[in-house]
Amino acid sequence: DAKTTQPPSMDCAEGRAANLPCNHSTISGNEYVYWYRQIHSQGPQYIIHGLKNNETNEMASLIITEDRKSSTLILPHATLRDTAVYYCIVRVAGNTGKLIFGQGTTLQVKP
Amino acid sequence: GAVVSQHPSRVICKSGTSVKIECRSLDFQATTMFWYRQFPKKSLMLMATSNEGSKATYEQGVEKDKFLINHASLTLSTLTVTSAHPEDSSFYICSARDQTQYFGPGTRLLVL
């Protein structure tokens, strides 16, 4: 599975959009981009995933560049409860792929 | 999303004893479950992939005789830490795959 690069930390003001970048320049054509987050002392929570089209759900939006070498997770209106470590992971779809976690981005939402 | 539970949520044991952690998929069947370990201020590290009805696949460097995994049904996988030592103290997290992979709340193990 391809590796990802994320900034170690970011701050965001409460109520503003949080844009979390991820580089995955070695991504393969059959690899999806997954985003999870981990709030302190809890298990990771699934946020969203995509292949090449932009995706949106009730939690976030995922913007994937046309060349698929990078993506951005957008939390449209960050709240204090969104403070967490956010992980961007690329994985082959289906039953053969494993989720391998990198260091992630620690997002601190400030009042 | 789908729900994955773990039991116990935390356990304290004496050095040399064995500890069993259960992972259940509550509203879906999972032929594949995963076990991770996380040390303080570190990321999750995949330990093994648990396959229903067959042997688990361990990641490099993980001792299969120390971390026994059993996946006897489509909704239950267990991780047994045998002869636990203080260095095994960690946060153990399981996950199960439906269409997507969902994680349990974790089990905090403290070995005295």
Q: How many alpha carbons fall within 13 Å on the CB side of residue A42?
A: 14
What average pLDDT does this structure show over A73-96? Answer: 91
What average pLDDT does this structure show over A43-48? Answer: 96
First to last CA, chain B: 36
pLDDT, tens only, B53-91: 888 999 999 999 999 999 889 999 999 999 999 999 999
**Minimum-distance CB partner of B103 among A43, A100, A102:** A43
Cβ contacts of B104 on chain A, cutoff 8 Å: 43
- Residue B12, pLDDT above cutoff 90: yes
The structure tokens listed for A36 are 């999870």
Identify which of A24, A78, A74 has the alpha carbon closest to the alpha carbon of residue A51: A24
Q: Does B9 touch chain A (CB under 8 A)?
A: no
Q: Report CA B80 to chain centroid distance, whole Å.
A: 8
Q: How far apart are CA A37 and CA A15, in angstroms?
A: 19
**Minimum-distance CB partner of A43 among B43, B46, B106:** B106
